[in-house]
Amino acid sequence: MKYMFDWKKDINKKELDKAIEVIKNNGLVLVPTETVYGIAANALEDEACKKIFEAKGRAQDNPLIVHVSDKNMLKSLVKNISTVEEKLIDAFMPGPFTLILEKNESICKTASAGNSTIGIRMPSNSIIHELIKESNIPLAAPSANISGRPSGTNVQDIFEELKDKMDCIIDGGNCKIGIESTVVKVIDGVPTILRPGFITEDDIKKAVGRVALSSNLFKKIEENQSVESPGMKYRHYAPKTKCVLVENSENQIDIINNILKENENACVVGFSEDKDYIRTKKFIDLGSKNNLEKIAHNIFSALREIDKENVTLAIIEGVEKKGLGLSIMNRVVRACENNIIH
């Protein structure tokens, strides 16, 4: 690592020039966004984007999201934009939203993994926004984590994992949202959610009148299966410790206490109000079950916390698969590798 900047309070203009220099030299910058941290590089250069794949150990067929500062930059990277797509852009950008569009030739082949489409996102976080705007370079940026591991939502959580792989690390404090953007592709005129996120099904329905959910969101996908989004196929968000998800139900607490009877060395990742009723010494608090935004904010750090507890099993409390709860469950189901108690 060449540079480490602390911008928790303010963006330092001199340091910003150094970060821009790293981008212009095809280097990697660890940068905060409102969703999760990203590993950013010049989206127009194969050499730069190849480094992202190497640093993450990412499958070659899994394309990157390209981040832009404004609508003009977005338009410079894609072919035609339909009326529905235009509406989605106006409703949700800037923000935690990624739209899959037909790309033109400017984005490098490595970023799009050879596909004719590209995911475009316009982040609202001021740090990544300034980096894109001032460099005038669209930035390819996947979530900041080694592939398969939980995404990073603060620098402490990912520093050891990534410090030797980055040229520049920008610490912008905790990410506001904590889970990744909603990935949407308009298929036959219908906005279809390929990865649920902070922008929910309802939000999209309200904005454009129609919405669909990919049928693959909670399925275990085989390596050679064809899916709308390559990311669906791969192991994701998983702690090293074995995890089991106890789905939302009336007797969630009893089920957990029963599992604990047979697994003494287990921790529980659960809701604040359940803490006193769950018989474990190692409780990782997700916040109140009534505050889904807080749970979304805490979930990746909680998943990383599990491996620090020295346990043989982690039992995770599930939320209802509705609204933001659906997006949280999408991450947790994958973290548990479909090891679920209904």
Distances (CA, A) of 265 to 6, 210, 283, 309, 312: 38, 47, 12, 10, 6
Binding-site partner at residue 174 among ligand TXA, Mg ion, none, CB < 5 to 8 Å by type: none
175: its two tokens: 């990410």
Least separation in angstroms between residue 174's CB and Mg ion is 18
CA 98 to chain centre: 11
Binding positions for ligand TXA, 197-226, rule CB under 6 A: none
Q: Is 143 in the site for Mg ion (CB under 5 A)?
A: yes
First-residue to last-residue Cα distance in the chain = 45
The nearest distance, CB 227 to Mg ion, in angstroms, is: 15
Q: Is 317 in a helix, a strand, or coil?
A: strand
Listed ranges 118-126, 216-224, 245-253, 263-271: which one lies at the site for ligand TXA (CB under 6 A) = 118-126
Environment class of residue 218 by beta-carbon count within 10 Å: exposed (0-12), middle (13-18) or buried (19+)? middle
Q: Determine contact, residues 29/166, Cβ cutoff 8 Å.
A: yes
Find the Cα–Cα–Cα–Cα dihedral 84, 90, 94, 100, rounded to 10°.
Answer: 10
Reading phi first (left if > 0) and then psi (alpha if -120 to 50, else beta), residue 288 is in beta
Q: Which is nearer to Mg ion, 39 or 88 (CB)?
A: 39
- 330 binding ligand TXA? (CB under 6 A): no
Which residue has the closest beta carbon to ligand TXA? 231
Residue 142 binds ligand TXA, judged by CB under 6 A? yes
Selected binder of ligand TXA within 181, 252, 280, 330 (CB under 6 A): 181
Residue number, 149 or 289, with CB nearest to Mg ion:
149
68 binds ligand TXA (CB under 6 A): no
CB-neighbour burial class of residue 216 (10 A; exposed 0-12, middle 13-18, buried 19+): middle
Tokens 């959610």 locate to 193
What is d(CA 262, CA 202) in angstroms, rounded to the nearest whole number?
41
Residue 158 or residue 313: which is nearer to Mg ion going by CB?
A: 158
Return the number of the residue (146 or 340) whose C-beta is nearest ligand TXA.
146
**Choice from 19, 29, 36, 208 touching ligand TXA (CB under 6 A):** 36
How far apart are CB 261 and ligand TXA at their closest, in Å?
38
Tell me: does residue 327 bind Mg ion (CB under 5 A): no
Which spans of this chain sit near Mg ion (rule: CB under 5 A)? 143
Binding residues for ligand TXA, rule: CB under 6 A, are: 33, 35-36, 38, 62-65, 98, 100, 115, 117-119, 121, 141-143, 180-181, 183, 194-195, 229-231
